Structure 1
Amino acid sequence: MTATYSELMAQAQALMAQAEAARKAELSTVIADIKTKMREMGITVDDLGDGKSKSSGKAKTKAEPKFRGPNGETWSGGPGRKPQWVVDAVAAGKNIEEFRI
């Protein structure tokens, strides 16, 4: 016999209730795991951002430099185009880690 729409909806609601109960049961373990990983990696709540898109009108904050070039130039090591001094150093066979601040 084929289940009716009402029976299927009741089953779906029962499954959703089970899923929510499982989520609540796992929540404290997941939060503890996240906090542990944040401590291990030195991540702060501020590092996570506020969830707003970059187009929220706020000015970008400049990242702290992580590398210093041979002439004192700096680079944060972020995504995007690398500065010419980095490109030149890597092309000359140098390891970028030699320039880490």
Structure 2
Amino acid sequence: MAAKKLELEAMSLDDLWSLHEEISGILSDRIKAEKNELEKRLAALGGGMAVLADSSPAGASSTGKPRRKYPRVLPKYRNPQTAETWSGRGKRPRWLVAAMKSGRRIEEFRIGEASPKLRQRA
């Protein structure tokens, strides 16, 4: 091994570069062959599902059907300080959680309805 290292150190820059390109080409070919072999094995084991998942468009599921489009959900709650909104779906936003911990009710932040105090007067 030490003799080969000495041989490399004695080589000219052009010779080293051509050796590098040759090695890179061989490595690239072997990596491609290895990848193809692994993809064949994976397709045989998994019925080809993994290969299909990589090649399908983002909107389609693994069955090939396009994903159903859901209608846009309008916001139901608004933060009066920052005008941030929340549709009422998913995890509650931090501003709403903090307000509720401080004793306020969720109905106070409702959009499109009169505030609870005004409803009591009517």
Q: TM-score range by the shorter chain?
A: 0.3 to 0.5
Which has the higher Rg, Structure 1 or Structure 2? 2
Relative contact order (C-alpha < 8 Å, sep 6+): which is higher?
A: 1
- What TM-score comes out, normalization by structure 1 length? 0.40
